[in-house]
Homo-oligomer: A and B are copies of this chain.
Amino acid sequence: MCTKKELPACPVETTLTMISNKWKVLILRDLLTGTKRFGELKKSLTGVSQKVLTSQLREMEENGLVERKAYPEVPPRVEYSLTPLGRSLKPIMDAMRVWGEQYKQQNA
């Protein structure tokens, strides 16, 4: 992704290469509250298919936002958590949450 290639000129675009996708934002929101198992994420993100959820998590892992830890157990257990880079996106998430709350109040 943005590893070695030239980054976009605009900082906002750089951010978008990370979280332009709706599901990624919601995954981020969930993982900001702590480590989650795959099944927990799937249940929380209503409407997402496991295929899409998996692909989004893989991309976020490649981008260095998410860490995947698989435990060699039966039945298998896989836990996802945010890396420091992933957690550094928190101000953006906070701003989005604040805006959503305000908007909801105005339209109540």
Interface residues in chain A, defined as those with a beta carbon under 8 Å from any beta carbon in chain B:
2-3, 7, 10-16, 20, 22, 25-26, 29, 85, 88-89, 91-104, 107
Chain A interface, >50% SS class:
helix
Q: When the two chains form their complex, are residues B100 and A10 in contact, meaning their CB atoms are under 8 A apart? A: yes
Q: Is the CB of A7 within 8 A of B104?
A: yes
- In the bound complex, residues from chain B placing their C-beta under 8 Å from that of A22 are 16, 20
Residue in B13, B97, B101 whose beta carbon sits within 8 Å of that of A100 in the complex: B13
Tell me the complex Cα distance, A97–B15, Å.
Answer: 7
From residue A82, how far is it (CB to closest CB) to chain B in Å? 14
CB distance from A105 to the nearest CB of B (A): 10
Q: Kindly state the separation between the CA atoms of A43 and B51 in the bound complex, as whole angstroms.
A: 36
